[in-house]
Amino acid sequence: MKTFKNQAAQGDLFIRRIDKLPDGIKRIDSVKGQYIVAHSETGHNHVIVDRPNISMFTTGDAMVSYLQVVEATDSSEIFIEHLRNFDTHESIRIDTGIYEIRRQREYTPEGWRRVED
């Protein structure tokens, strides 16, 4: 398990701590007890298990989402997990705070595209 102070990466995700949530965002509901932080092309999504102490938000841009963790204790730890049983990315523990989560992009001769994990 990884921990971080201000920023971290997991595959095609970049997570950074921010001071406050931006205006104009919309709360996201979990699906089957999980927030899908990033869909994987192979079905091995990056997810956060829904807990009462977290909220996820979107701007409508599939490349950016926001996470607010009100309190993270030993009994309510928050992790971003990669759902693959081989060649998986290490889980990242998320502490109390507000985070911007971005899908990373890469340049190709055809133009910018989302990094595929």
pLDDT at site 88: 60
Residue 42 has pLDDT above 70, yes or no: no
CA 77 to chain centroid, in Å, comes to 15
Please provide the DSSP assignment of 12-52 as one string.
TEEEEEESSPPTT-EEE--BTTEEEEE--TTS--EEEE--T
**Rounded Cα–Cα distance for residues 44 and 117 (Å):** 9
Residue 63 DSSP class: T
Domain ranges of the chain: 7-114
Share of the chain above pLDDT 70, in %: 73
Residue with tokens 């970049």: 14
Predicted structure pTM score: 0.78
Residue with tokens 């979107």: 58
